[in-house]
Amino acid sequence: MKIDVDVKENLKIIGNEDKIKEILINLLDNAIKYGKINTTIYVKAEVNDGYINIKVVDSGEGICESELENILSPFYRVSKSDTREIGSTGLGLAIVKSIVESYNGIIEIQSEVNKGTMVLVKLPAIS
């Protein structure tokens, strides 16, 4: 897999460096686990409307709409047997949500089955 990174310079937020890393590691880990082989994961970060928008997009199996409402819940896994084999506990996105909300941020997920998933994390920017 290839990771294509487009991060604007001088992006600033108030936050614990380890917690921000944890967000990024969890999002990239999911994109790698559930992305299709020989595809590109896109990571983009920019300022928009007072937020630092961090977007991670994969070309993976996607998540059906009925599953999206639960995907941020602790221990929730979309495909239970497959993710157990990969080593998923179902905590990654719940941890990301918790960290993002602790910084008064927003997390949004859009997905289409057989096309991929986009996770957008919005964290308040420092002017």
Assigned token pair, 44: 């983009």
CATH architecture of 2-124: 2-Layer Sandwich (3.30)
The whole-number pLDDT of residue 78 equals 67
The whole-number pLDDT of residue 81 equals 44
Rounded Cα distance, 72 and 88, in Å: 14
- Measuring CA to CA, how many Å separate 116 from each of 6, 10, 57, 103, 127? 19, 29, 7, 27, 33
CA atoms within 13 A on the CB side of 40: 6
The whole-number pLDDT of residue 24 equals 96
Low-confidence stretches of the chain (pLDDT < 70) are: 75-89
The whole-number pLDDT of residue 79 equals 59
The whole-number pLDDT of residue 84 equals 42
The whole-number pLDDT of residue 86 equals 52
Assigned token pair, 109: 């997920």
Domain-by-domain residue ranges, the chain?
2-124
